[in-house]
Structure 1
Amino acid sequence: MVADPEGSGAAAPRRMIGVAVPIPDPHGSLLRARRAGFGDPMAAAIPTHITLLPPTEVAGADLPAIEEHLLRIARTERPFHIRLHGTGTFRPVSPVVFVALEEGIGDCERVQARVSSGPLARALPFPYHPHVTVAHHLPDEAMDRAFKELATYRADFDVWGFSLYEHGDDGVWRPQRDFAFGTGGAGPHIEDGPPAPP
């Protein structure tokens, strides 16, 4: 909570949001289960995804403008293909093991750059690198296991759009709204997202 700049004593609610490409099932559920199997407690709190905007604190009053910003982006994008293949790691800089993108990197980079502009412009601590986290802040042996066991993992899917997520008081990230590419509309989150436009 942040003090009211008018000095009225009221507090302006702050919200923690993120924007991401959801990984559709069965791939998303499988990778989430594997993440849990490696001992990562965050598997229960974070749906499987490719980040476009990392956790960002915003004023609740700014959400309508943020959603309009995301809607404008979605209207002018088109579905694209992603192929996941193999693993990578950010160690030793960051304790993360991930499933890598073999196809769709440039598309994610383009959408990420657009999302991280306007009302969501912010400096990132690291250069953007699209990926799917499968182990984070775990003992080295668990990180090594994740890296090895998913080294031959492969999955293909089409990206229909992206979702706006919010971090709950219980620590769980939940999708709030879906933004489908090319449709000119947004709506409440639907499991696995809306179908891609023809």
Structure 2
Amino acid sequence: MGTVTLGVSIAVPEPYGSLIQERRAGFGDPAAHSIPTHVTLLPPTEVDASALPAIEAHLATVAAAGRPFPMRLSGTGTFRPLSPVVYIQVVEGTSACAWLQQRVRDASGPLVRDLQFPYHPHVTVAHGIAEEAMDRAYEELSEYAAEWSCASFALYQQGTDGVWRKLHEYAFGGGGETTSLPSQSTPADRPSVHP
């Protein structure tokens, strides 16, 4: 069956998700429309496609043990010079995100992996672009703020075209799959947003 590249994340809901995605594109980040706006729980991970049913069952178990929690974003941060990333900070919900990502990567489950850097929940707004554009993202979003009640996370797969698509969304508390967060569309399906 081959391998697939998966990721697990908390989607940033509308209207915030699309607005952040548009800002990311405006800073010149070519990946902006390939990656729905999110907080990572499991970074891109290559797995055998035959493991998908076990992975989905594992994630359902993780979600069943979770409970909705408040998420709040405020201001910007950066991982430079270690990594060329500017992000919006998660200022509430960090401990819940840390708890979830640990369980997603639990040694008894099918998604065991080490992280390249210590886990730090965030929403990327610029990655690997010109320093001037990174500086602009850092400054222009420095007073950005958003909040919502996080009630789920989702499993995504990266296509051969580089676009990340949602496979399943998992509601906390064992509610099964949820549709509370609409999928973000790609530029081809979405009308242009003008300032």
Higher RCO structure (Cα 8 Å, ≥6 apart): 2
Deviations 1:88-139 (A, max 9, x none): 0000000000000111110100001001111101011100000000000011
Q: Look up the match of 2:64.
A: 75
Change (3 A) 1:66 1:189: farther
Contact kept in structure 2, 1:97 and 1:147, CA below 8 Å:
yes
Indicate the structure (1 or 2) with the bigger Cα radius of gyration: 1
Partner of 1:41, secondary structure, is: coil
Partner of 2:154, secondary structure, is: strand
Aligned amino acid, residue 142 of structure 1: A
Partner of 2:9, secondary structure, is: strand
Q: Look up the match of 2:90.
A: 101
**1:111 aligned to 100, 104, 123, which one?**
100
Aligned amino acid, residue 13 of structure 2: P
Q: Gapped runs of 5+ residues in structure 1?
A: 1-11, 194-198
Q: Look up the match of 1:134.
A: 125
* Structure 1 residue 188, shift from structure 2 partner: 7.7
- C-alpha RMSD of matched pairs (Å): 1.6
Q: Gapped runs of 5+ residues in structure 2?
A: 185-195
The answer to whether residue 114 in structure 2 is matched with residue 123 in structure 1 is yes
Structure 1 segments, 4+ long, off by >3 Å, are 187-190
Contact kept in structure 2, 1:99 and 1:133, CA below 8 Å:
yes
Contact kept in structure 2, 1:28 and 1:48, CA below 8 Å:
yes
Q: Look up the match of 1:175.
A: 166
The answer to whether residue 53 in structure 2 is matched with residue 64 in structure 1 is yes
Q: Look up the match of 1:86.
A: 75
Q: Among the aligned pairs, what percent are the same residue?
A: 54
The answer to whether residue 127 in structure 2 is matched with residue 143 in structure 1 is no
Partner of 1:119, secondary structure, is: coil
Partner of 1:143, secondary structure, is: helix
Contact kept in structure 1, 2:14 and 2:182, CA below 8 Å:
no
Deviations 1:135-169 (A, max 9, x none): 00011100000000000000011111100000001
* Structure 1 residue 86, shift from structure 2 partner: 0.1
Partner of 2:31, secondary structure, is: helix
**1:51 aligned to 33, 40, 45, which one?**
40
Contact kept in structure 2, 1:176 and 1:188, CA below 8 Å:
no
Q: Look up the match of 2:192.
A: none
Deviations 1:53-105 (A, max 9, x none): 00000111100000000000111111000110000000000000000011111
Partner of 2:35, secondary structure, is: coil
The whole-number CA distance in structure 1 between the counterparts of 2:37 and 2:9 is: 9
Change (3 A) 1:189 1:13: farther
Give the TM-score of the pair, scaled to structure 1. Answer: 0.88
Q: Look up the match of 1:24.
A: 13
Partner of 2:71, secondary structure, is: strand
Q: Look up the match of 2:190.
A: none
